Structure 1
Amino acid sequence: MGAIAKHDFYVAGPFFNPEQTASMERLEQVLADHGKSMFKPRFASVIEEVGPEGCFADDTRGIREARAVIANLMDEDSGTMFEIGYAHALGKPVYGYLEGLDENSHVNLMIAQSVEMVFAGPDDLAHWLETGEHSEITYHQF
């Protein structure tokens, strides 16, 4: 029997500059607006206080304790890519989020094959949360 999930979503993604942070905030706002509980690693621990080992332990525990992972795919952040692979290896549902996704977009094949679907932004994610329906965009896998 698996552990009871503490959060609906582990929200993975880069947050190292204002553009990345704004994208993460839009993603988190949609989830919050739809009553979803979240583990947000960018707020989970302070590296200066717990060190790299503590951050790693907090974040991997957050993935294990979440029902699913949603990962912001902007900038192919290496930490986010690890979180996707770790969640996939655990058998967790993993969803991608890439604002502006269209048929000309490129997503690494290892990531594309690890996710259930990729949302093209806040409206696309909100529609799925409200209806359970999603129209997948065919993008390039490389």
Structure 2
Amino acid sequence: MTLPSSAPRPAPRIYLAGPDVFYPEARERGRQMQALCASLGLVGLYPLDGDLSDTEATPLSLRIYQANRQLIQSADAVVANLRDFRGFEPDSGTVWEASFALALGKPVVGYLPQANSLIERMAGQHQAGVDADGCTVEDFGLPLNLMLAHSLSAVAYGAEDGLQGLRAALLVVRRLLDAGGSPG
């Protein structure tokens, strides 16, 4: 007869993808994000906390890539800040991180400041669904490119400044992980 384990389940590990690492005071922002995770019983994995101790012969950019890839592989899920960054689309590094996690079979929850569609956010920047370069602006009523919008487990919304969107996304990922059993 096997008795149920009384060992506590480890707190789920959540990789915090997003352009937050480029903000002023990025490390303090990461600590705030991790504190919010901890308040919800989660462990926040912030990209700037990756192990960069590889030899100096390896370029820093490659060490950052390898460290963040390892953090994503060790995570139970990814929460991604998909706000517009340097234009009308999310940060390309964040999109890569979300896609990598999806390829690994991990849940990915994105968050945005508001639920406006891509074409609504680009108001004044296009004429009849065509941008300044003559490229079609997709109009499916989605807040993100259709490939990203349809691949996420969920999208949460919250104010641009502050942690409301992150909190909403963490609550969703917490429910997803709890419904799926133990992390990992």
Tell me the TM-score normalised to structure 1 length.
0.70
After TM superposition, list the pairs within 5 Å mapping 1:1-142 onto structure 2.
Answer: 8-14=13-19, 15-18=21-24, 27-45=33-51, 51-74=60-83, 75=85, 76-98=90-112, 100-104=113-117, 106-121=143-158, 122=164, 124-125=168-169, 128=172, 132=175
> Is the 2:109–2:173 contact (alpha carbons within 8 Å) kept by the matching residues of 1?
no
Deviation at 1:110, TM superposition (A): 1.8
> Which structure has the highest helix share of the two?
1
Distance 1:36 1:73 in 2: 20
Unmatched 5+ stretches in structure 1: 134-142
Higher relative contact order (CA 8 A, sep 6+): 1
Unmatched 5+ stretches in structure 2: 1-9, 119-142, 159-163, 177-184
- CA, structure 1 residues 34+89, in 2 after alignment: closer, same or farther (shift >3 Å)? same
- Matched residue count: 127
Bigger Cα Rg: 2
Tell me the TM-score normalised to structure 2 length.
0.56
Distance 1:6 1:36 in 2: 5
- CA root-mean-square deviation: 3.3
Identity %: 32
Distance 1:78 1:11 in 2: 15
Distance 1:56 1:36 in 2: 23
